[in-house]
Amino acid sequence: MAICVAPFRSLSSPLLRSSAAAPPCTAKSVVFGCPSLRNLVKQQLTSRPMVSSSGGRMNCSAQVETEATASAPFLTDHAKLIDSVETFIFDCDGVIWKGDSLIEGVPETLDMLRSMGKRLVFVTNNSTKSRKQYGKKFESLGLSVSEEEIFASSFAAAAYLKSIKFPSDKKVYIIGEAGIQLELKQAGINYIGGPEDGDKRIDLAPGQLMEHDHDVGAVVVGFDRYLNYYKLQYATLCIRENPGCMFIATNCDAVTHLTDAQEWAGGGSMVGAIKGSTKKEPLVVGKPSTFMMDYLASE
């Protein structure tokens, strides 16, 4: 399989780049973009051709392999390559938009692919919004994208818990924002925490013991702009003291694109705090986990 790397604009230009190790336009499956998506598709690709386009940042570096692309030759027959695939997978942050700004060339490229009958899938590790909310963001940018075409890590967390038949008598504690709450609610999964715990504080006193809900069977950690010590301690207690409590991360991204002016600390910084306090590794459901590609392939 050929692993190809290109900026978003290259999909509609003759400057599509292929990896030096792969013969141009001969692969049934081609992957564009960041290593997390490329490696996922490489590992989990079904017989249906797919193409992934993503930004250039690394995700969960311990789980993916760096691929050198600086000396990759140019691929001149880009039309043949596009014709050979059925599904294009696009990252969102840094590819479709930066913050609330649409990236140049996106509408034209998406319109071109849709006119050719291609299937489009939009993937984001940003868990602050639900799929429905992301649909509204696409609409606000002038893009027509259906909810079924969107795969957010907030949805991935709910989909994973639903796939393992998370017990109805158990709860999920959330470090994260409204996107995770909305997706868990949609899936019929009980939860506590989230934005509601953003204003809670701990006033320490001698011999103080913090209580927690022993019915919490999973802690989901995503990007949280209102992270505080209360949330960290509560999640830590659940994971360390509740038998079988799962530690689930929406992603391990070191940085994210909240605005187009600079990079911001990503969900991986929140996940890292819980890793440090619990000495446990999370189950990651967003990029670069295999769960994401398994789910997309099944759909």
Backbone angles phi, psi at 140, to 5 degrees: -65, -25
Catalytic residue among 86, 139, 196, 281: 86
Q: Which pTM does this prediction carry?
A: 0.78
Answer CATH for 155-286 from 3.40.50.300, 3.90.180.10, 3.40.50.1000, 3.40.50.970: 3.40.50.1000
pLDDT band at 67 (very low <50, low <70, confident <90, very high): very low
Strand 216-221 with 171-175, pairing:
parallel
Strand 74-75 with 101-102, pairing:
unpaired
Asked if residues 135 and 122 have their Cβ atoms less than 8 Å apart, the reply is no
pLDDT band at 278 (very low <50, low <70, confident <90, very high): very high
**Overall residue count recorded for the chain in this entry:** 299
Q: Is the model's pLDDT at 26 over the cut of 50?
A: no
Where do the domains of the chain lie? 155-286
pLDDT of residue 259: 81
User: Rounded to whole angstroms, how far apart are CA atoms 272 and 190?
Assistant: 25
User: What is the rounded average pLDDT of the residues 167-192?
Assistant: 98
pLDDT of 209-265, one tens digit each?
999 999 999 999 999 999 999 999 999 999 999 999 999 999 999 998 788 788 999
pLDDT band at 17 (very low <50, low <70, confident <90, very high): very low
**Is 86 marked active-site?**
yes
User: Rounded to whole angstroms, how far apart are CA atoms 293 and 291?
Assistant: 6
User: Rounded to whole angstroms, how far apart are CA atoms 183 and 172?
Assistant: 12
Asked if residues 88 and 53 have their Cβ atoms less than 8 Å apart, the reply is yes
Backbone angles phi, psi at 10, to 5 degrees: -70, -15
List the structure tokens of 114.
């849709």
257-263 contact pairs (CB < 8 A, 24+): 257/55, 257/93, 257/94, 257/97, 257/98, 257/99, 258/99, 259/98, 259/99, 259/100, 260/98, 260/99, 260/100, 260/101, 261/99
User: Rounded to whole angstroms, how far apart are CA atoms 258 and 87?
Assistant: 27
List the structure tokens of 270.
């929140």
Q: Is the model's pLDDT at 21 over the cut of 50?
A: no
Q: How much is the mean pLDDT over the chain? A: 81
Q: What percent of the chain has pLDDT over 70?
A: 74
User: What is the rounded average pLDDT of the residues 104-108?
Assistant: 95
pLDDT band at 287 (very low <50, low <70, confident <90, very high): confident
pLDDT of 151-171, one tens digit each?
999 999 999 999 999 999 999
Q: How far is CA 71 from the centre of its chain?
A: 28
User: Rounded to whole angstroms, how far apart are CA atoms 299 and 296?
Assistant: 5
List the structure tokens of 11.
């999909």
Q: Is the model's pLDDT at 42 over the cut of 80?
A: no
User: Rounded to whole angstroms, how far apart are CA atoms 108 and 280?
Assistant: 45
User: What is the rounded average pLDDT of the residues 76-99?
Assistant: 85
User: Rounded to whole angstroms, how far apart are CA atoms 241 and 227?
Assistant: 21
User: Rounded to whole angstroms, how far apart are CA atoms 3 and 224?
Assistant: 33
User: Rounded to whole angstroms, how far apart are CA atoms 227 and 176?
Assistant: 8
Which one has a higher pLDDT value, 227 or 50? 227
List the structure tokens of 224.
């949280």
